[in-house]
Structure 1
C-alpha cells in the first residue's frame, strides 16, 4: 500500500462519482445467503483434493506482511519494519489469521536483459520466509508487488521488453516454488496500471496479456504448480463493474478451476481519508461497501469463482491511524467484516506495521483488532457515537446515544469492573441509551479536561462497545505567523478533538486543495497535535490558496463546537488571526 498511486487512482475514481461524472454501477443484493440464480462454475479438487472455493475459504481471515519484502531498496528493513522472524510469524498466527499475503518487490534484486536474473540471496530469503509461514500453518500468497509502478506500467510503451522481464521473473519464481505445498498461492501482479495506453480497452487487453502469460508460465512449470491456486487481479485491483467484467473474460478464456479473483478495498474515498465533511461512517460509505461486495458476489462467487480482497483498510491510515475518528473507524471495520462474511469473500488486512507492532508483538490498537477479529464470525453492536462530551463550565445533563444492536441485547454497562445500575445510572428505551446526569457528574468529578472515564457496553453477543466520557471547553486558537511552507497555530484543545476544517475565501469560493469542497482533507491539508498543542497547515494546503487572499477557516470539533480563524496570504508570508 506504500505506493502513492493507490491513493491517487482511488481519489480520482471516487471524486468522479461525487461530482456526478461517473455512475455507481447497479448491483443486486446477495442477501444473507449470498445466492444467485446463475449456474455456479464447476470446480474440481486441486493437488490437496480441495476446490478453489474451499481453498480460498480456508484462507479466511488473512493478513498482509506489508512494507517488508515489498520495500523498495536493498533490504527488507528499508521502510522501517524489522527483519521477519519465525517468532513474528508465530505471533501473528496466534491472533487467528489463517493466511498471510507476503508482497514481494523484485526490481532492486534483479539483473538486466536478457536473463533478468533474480539475486539468489533475495530469492533464498523470500523462500525462507515463505517456508517459515507455511511451517506456522499459514496459507501463503506471494506476488510481484511494487514492480507494477517501477517497470510493469511501461508495457504500452515497451511491450516486448516488459513482457520479457515479466516472463523471466515468473519463470524463476515458479521454478523456485514448483514443489511447495498447495497452501502456497501466486498472485499475478499488485495493482497493475499502464502509462501511455490508448484507453480502457487497451488497458484491459494488456492486463489480459499479463494474467494469461502468468497463468501459462506457472502451469507449464510442472510440479505442484500444475494445479496450484493462482490469483488474478483486476486493473488497479479496482472493483468497478467494468473492471470485474474484464477479468471475467480472462477467467472464461482460461477455463481453469484453480483460479481466484482479487481486488482491494479501502472504503468510500471521502470517508477513508476524511475529506468533504465525511467524518462519519454513514449512508454513502455503507452504500459504497454494500454495492461493491454485491458486485463481487454476483460477478464471481455466484459462478463458483472465489474472491480474495487482498488488501483492505482505510487510505487515511497511510498518514495516521487517527485520520478517521475511533468510533467511526470501528463501525467501518465491523460492517466490512459482516458484509464480506455473508457474501463468502476472503479478506486480507493490510498492515504495513501500523497495526501489529512487530517488535513488541502486540496490537497498537487492541480495540480495533477486537472489532475486526470478532467480525470474522459474528456481527457486533455499535452506537451512534463512542464519545459523550460534558462541558466543565455548564450544568451536567443526561446524555443519549442510539444503539445499533445487530440483533443482540444490551446486558450490562460497566465502568471498569463496576456494573452500573439500570434504571438509575442509565436507562434503555428501545435503541436509546441514556446515561444520567448524576452518573456523568460522578464520573467527571475530578474535573480534568479530556477523557475522564470509559463506559463499556456489553451485549449478548459480539464485541463490547466503549464510550468515553470527556470533559471539555471550547478550544482556543492563537494568532500566528508563518510561510506557505508551514503555519503552526498554537491551540488549546481544552479536552476536545478536531473533526474537520473548512476553508473559504472571504470574497467567495472554496480555498485550499480539493476546491470542489470547503471541507479539507484531514492530516493532508491540516494536522492537529494534541500533546504539543498546535494545528499545522502544511505547504500542501497553501499550494491551493491564491496569493494576496484572505481565507476564513472554520474548525469543527467532535463536541459540536466550532472555532473561526482568518488567514491572510501575501506572497510566501501567511498570518493567522483568531476570532
Structure 2
C-alpha cells in the first residue's frame, strides 16, 4: 500500500522457544483458518527456525494465518523512521507473536539504498539491517514475507519506456536478496513486487510485463541455491487487484512455471466508496457486502479450488482507523466490515495480512499496545468465529420530542440473540425491550426514558446486545436534536461552518451548483470525500470546508451543500467563492 504516514529493551531471544507450543495450541483451536494436518517437510531447518514448514504450499499458507504487516517502516522513504514509526526492535515481533499472529509481511523499499545505475548495488549496511529485522521475526517463530515494495511506483513502473534498464535493476535486486537470504529457513517467503504498475501501457502490455517480472524473479531465486531451491514464492496480480482478468493472468503465469511452491497474492480494502466515505458510502450496505463476497469468491474459484494458495497481503479500510483525524468511516459500520471480512476469508480458505501503517492506526510501536483494543478484538474474533451485529450502533432519541420506542435490526450472522445488558444489569424483555421476528430489537419508551436520564446531548448510555457466540454488539443511546448551521464569512484557506451538533454525528456532504452539476474536487459524484473536502470539528462546533474543496469551486457561483447526519437529519447550506473570500448562508427549509 502506498501510505505515507506512519520499543523498549530486547527480551531474551530464548522466548522464541514458546512458539512451537503456541503453534500446536493454535492448530488445535482452529486458528489456522484451515487444516494443518498434512505431511510436513522434515528436512532440518537452520538454527533459529521454530517451525516445520508443511510440504504442501496450501498447508504452509494456512499455517501463516493470521498475518500482520510491518507497514511504513522498512518501506518508508528514504529511511526507516521517516514516516512516523520508531526503529524496529525484537520486542515488536515478540508482541506480534504473543497477540496471536503467525506471520508477518515485511515490506522493503530498496530504491534509496541502491545505486540507480548498473550493477544496482544495494548498500551493505541497509541489507544487513533488513536481515537483522527478518531474523528477529524468524527467531520469534513467525513466518516472514519479504518483498520489493514502493520500488513499484518509483522505478519499476517505468518498464514500458525503459524495459531493459528496469529488468536489469529488478533482476539485480532479487539476485542480491536471494544471495543474502539463501540459507534462511523456509519460513521466509519472497514476494516479487508489491502492487506492480506500469505507466503508459495497455492492459495487454501490462500483463506481459508482469508475467516477465514474475518469471524472471522465479528463475533468479530458484537458481541461487540453498533454501531458495524450494522456498515459497509469492506472485502478485497487476496492482495486487483481485479483478478476475488480473487473477486469470496470474493463474496462467503460475501454471506455466510448473512449481508447487508458488502462492498468489492480492490486496483488499473494501468497496471503495465505503472504504474512504465518498459517493454516499456511509454504511456497510448490501453493495459493500457483495463486493467483498465477490472478491473472495474469485480468489477461491481462480486459485484455492485449483490448489494454489492465496496470501491476501494487505487488508483494511483506506479511511479507517486514523486517530489523527475525525473518523471518516463510522465505527460500527467499520466493525461490521471487519467481522464480515474474517468470515469470508475463512470460507474461501485465504490467509490474510492486516495492513498496519503504525503508531497512528492499530499497534502503537512506541508502547507496543493496541491503539484501539476493542477494534483489534473484533479483528481477532473474525479469525475463528462470527459475531452478531446490528443495522447501526446508535439509537437517536430526539430531545425536543416526547420519548417513543426506537430500535435496530439485528444481523445475527448465524448466532442467537441472548439478551441486552446495561453494564452489569440485564434488561428485561417485555418491559425494557421487545424482539420481533428474532431480529427487530426495539427499546421501549420506558427504558429509553430511564437510560437517557437528564437528556444531555450525546451518548447517555451504552448497551450490549449479546449473542450465542462471538463478541457483543455495543449500542449507544444518544440524545440529539436537529443540528443548527449559522451564516459565516472567511477565506479559501480557512473557512468553517458554525455548527451546533446537538448530539448528532456528521455522515457526509453533497455539493451541487445551481444547474445541478457536481461541485468540488470529485466531479463524478455530488457526495464529496470525508476529510478531503469537509470534516467535522466537534470540539469547536464547526464543519471545516477544506482549502482543496474551496479552491475547486467555480468563481462566483452559488453552491448548495447538503449535510447528512447519522440520525437521518439533512441540512442545506449555500456557499459562494469570490476571489479568496467565501460567504456561507444557512438555508431555511420552506414551511
Same fold (TM over 0.5): yes
Pairwise mapping of residues 363-378 of structure 1 onto structure 2 (< 5 A)? 363-378=370-385
Offset from partner CA, 1:499-535 (integer Å, 9 cap, x none): 0111111233221122232211111111112123221
Offset from partner CA, 1:77-97 (integer Å, 9 cap, x none): 110011111222212222211
Offset from partner CA, 1:419-463 (integer Å, 9 cap, x none): 222221222222111112222111211332111111011111111
Corresponding residue to 1:303 among 302, 306, 315: 306
Pairwise mapping of residues 251-290 of structure 1 onto structure 2 (< 5 A)? 251-290=254-293
Gaps of 5+ in 1: 5-33, 36-42
Corresponding residue to 2:163 among 137, 159, 164: 159
* Counterpart-to-counterpart distance in 1, 2:482 and 2:318: 30
Partner of 1:552: 560
Partner of 1:113: 117
Q: Any idea what SS the aligned residue of 1:315 has?
A: coil
> Structure 1 residues 262, 66: CA separation in 2 closer, same or farther (over 3 Å shift)?
same
Alpha-carbon distance, 1:181 to partner:
0.8
Identify the range of structure 1 (238-247 vs 489-498) with the bigger mean alpha-carbon deviation: 489-498
* Counterpart-to-counterpart distance in 2, 1:49 and 1:526: 51
The answer as to 2:415 corresponding to 1:408 is yes
Alpha-carbon distance, 1:46 to partner:
9.0
* Counterpart-to-counterpart distance in 2, 1:333 and 1:403: 17
Corresponding residue to 2:350 among 332, 345, 350: 345
Corresponding residue to 1:357 among 353, 360, 364: 364
Partner of 1:21: none
* Counterpart-to-counterpart distance in 2, 1:502 and 1:317: 21
Q: Judge conservation of contact 2:320–2:334 (CA < 8 Å) in 1.
A: no
Q: Judge conservation of contact 2:326–2:531 (CA < 8 Å) in 1.
A: no
Partner of 1:67: 72
The answer as to 2:261 corresponding to 1:234 is no
* Counterpart-to-counterpart distance in 2, 1:535 and 1:125: 45
Q: Any idea what SS the aligned residue of 1:169 has?
A: helix
Offset from partner CA, 1:281-307 (integer Å, 9 cap, x none): 111111111111111111111110000
Q: Any idea what SS the aligned residue of 1:389 has?
A: strand
The answer as to 2:424 corresponding to 1:417 is yes
Pairwise mapping of residues 449-464 of structure 1 onto structure 2 (< 5 A)? 449-464=457-472
Partner of 1:533: 541
Partner of 1:435: 443
Offset from partner CA, 1:53-74 (integer Å, 9 cap, x none): 001001111111100110011x
What RMSD in Å do the two structures reach over aligned CA positions? 1.9
Alpha-carbon distance, 1:544 to partner:
3.2
The answer as to 2:98 corresponding to 1:94 is yes
* Counterpart-to-counterpart distance in 2, 1:83 and 1:303: 41
Q: Judge conservation of contact 1:387–1:470 (CA < 8 Å) in 2.
A: yes
Q: Judge conservation of contact 1:548–1:570 (CA < 8 Å) in 2.
A: yes
Partner of 1:25: none
Partner of 2:400: 393
Identify the range of structure 1 (389-398 vs 475-484) with the bigger mean alpha-carbon deviation: 475-484
* Counterpart-to-counterpart distance in 1, 2:197 and 2:409: 44
Partner of 1:7: none
* Counterpart-to-counterpart distance in 2, 1:428 and 1:337: 28
The answer as to 2:527 corresponding to 1:522 is no
* Counterpart-to-counterpart distance in 2, 1:449 and 1:402: 24
Alpha-carbon distance, 1:485 to partner:
3.1
Gaps of 5+ in 2: 5-32, 44-52
Q: Judge conservation of contact 1:3–1:146 (CA < 8 Å) in 2.
A: no
Q: Any idea what SS the aligned residue of 1:316 has?
A: coil
Q: Judge conservation of contact 1:271–1:280 (CA < 8 Å) in 2.
A: yes
Alpha-carbon distance, 1:542 to partner:
2.5
* Counterpart-to-counterpart distance in 1, 2:450 and 2:475: 16
Partner of 1:487: 495
TM-score, normalised with respect to structure 1: 0.90
Partner of 1:504: 512
* Counterpart-to-counterpart distance in 2, 1:483 and 1:318: 30
Partner of 1:9: none
Q: Judge conservation of contact 2:3–2:357 (CA < 8 Å) in 1.
A: no
Corresponding residue to 1:323 among 321, 328, 331: 328
Q: Judge conservation of contact 1:68–1:81 (CA < 8 Å) in 2.
A: yes
Q: Judge conservation of contact 1:65–1:351 (CA < 8 Å) in 2.
A: yes
* Counterpart-to-counterpart distance in 2, 1:527 and 1:424: 40
Alpha-carbon distance, 1:114 to partner:
1.6
Pairwise mapping of residues 5-44 of structure 1 onto structure 2 (< 5 A)? none
* Counterpart-to-counterpart distance in 2, 1:540 and 1:46: 59
* Counterpart-to-counterpart distance in 1, 2:294 and 2:116: 44
What is the total number of aligned residue pairs between the two structures?
542
Q: Judge conservation of contact 1:500–1:556 (CA < 8 Å) in 2.
A: yes
Q: Judge conservation of contact 2:109–2:148 (CA < 8 Å) in 1.
A: yes
Partner of 2:212: 209
Q: Any idea what SS the aligned residue of 1:317 has?
A: coil
* Counterpart-to-counterpart distance in 1, 2:54 and 2:416: 42
Q: Judge conservation of contact 1:63–1:351 (CA < 8 Å) in 2.
A: yes
* Counterpart-to-counterpart distance in 2, 1:317 and 1:164: 38
Alpha-carbon distance, 1:125 to partner:
1.1
